[in-house]
Amino acid sequence: MTIRSVKLFKEMLTSGDQAVMVADLREVVRAAPLFSPMTPYGKPMRVKMTSAGKYGWFSDRKGYRYEPRHPEGMAWPPIPDSVLKVWHDVAGTDRAPDCCLVNYYTDTAKMGLHQDKDEADFGYPVVSISLGDDALFRIGNLTRGGKTESVWLSSGDVVVMGDDARLVYHGIDRVKAGTSTLLDGGGRINLTLRVVDP
């Protein structure tokens, strides 16, 4: 399925794949606890985050960027093989991602429309994996404004934003509580994989 040149692979991960990934992510979060980054505007983000890989995505008053260390000082844990496999299946490159951002949404969290543009080379795609409760994903255009389209992402779905869709505006309008039993305590995990270095 293609929505405005964003590729959506529905139910790419089996429930077994998803359970393995959640177990792997538990280890990631144990090594690098979730935190709420401060936006450059001085408000904490509604989504809790951590990362795996060479870099973690970070935000504070100074702006958005990648950091080689968690705010508590440790290096980010490695990206689990279960997650790397998905990247290699859909990214269309031999290069491995430098960052796996882990976003955790409670049922009231959302993420405003934005572009992913803190990376050096937009020739590499962004690959995004959904786990847990359904989320309403909004896809806009290459500039702010204009008509948008929305699609529900479910647990096991994979989205690829590459080529002419690499810099499309996108965001999460809402998460629908109780739509998945994958995560104890509910909510949604999104994994966003990106190449960061040139």
Select the binding partner of residue 128 from ligand AKG, Fe ion, none (C-beta < 5 to 8 A, by kind): ligand AKG
Site string for ligand AKG, 97-126 (x = CB under 6 A): ----x-x-------x----x----------
Taking CB under 6 A as the rule, does residue 82 contact ligand AKG?
no
Phi-psi category of residue 4: left, alpha or beta, with phi > 0 → left and psi -120 to 50 → alpha: left
Question: CB of 127: closest distance to ligand AKG in angstroms?
Answer: 11
Taking CB under 5 A as the rule, does residue 116 contact Fe ion?
yes
Rounded alpha-carbon distances, angstroms, from residue 120 to 59, 71, 116:
17, 22, 11
What letter represents residue 188's amino acid? R
Which of 73, 196 has the CB closer to ligand AKG? 196
Q: How far apart are CA 131 and CA 157, in angstroms?
A: 8
Residues near Fe ion (CB under 5 A), total:
1
Contacts to ligand AKG by CB under 6 A:
101, 103, 111, 116, 128, 137, 170, 172, 190, 192
